Amino acid sequence: MTEKEITIFVDHREEASGIIELISKLGARMKTMQLPVGDFLVSERTVVERKTGSDFLQSIVDGRLFNQAEAMIDNFEKGFIIVEGEVYGVRYFHENAIRGAFISLFLDYGIPVIQTRN
């Protein structure tokens, strides 16, 4: 049995993040390009948007979050958002506003949010 090589398409704006090197070390082949939406195309059907905790909060304020969610479901069958770092207690946001954004992404758009430490 031979293993299939995994290729992940990465938006060119992620080059400075260090993520490309980390994922490459795990054995995936990375191809950099400009994606129409999201940061990582992990299959023909699935796109991933990566945000820092601070960017997640700012995207709620400036309205990008739900526009991005809409674009994700318009262009791909599946999507999810990874939020790196803390979002609670970082800025002036009430915790319920953040929880509401997470719930809305999942219930209204079918997009789960995965939080990571870093």
State how far the Cα of 4 lies from the Cα of 51, in Å rounded to an integer.
29
> pLDDT tens digits for 23-71?
888 888 889 999 999 999 999 999 999 999 999 999 999 999 999 999 9
pLDDT value at residue 1: 41
State how far the Cα of 106 lies from the Cα of 7, in Å rounded to an integer.
27
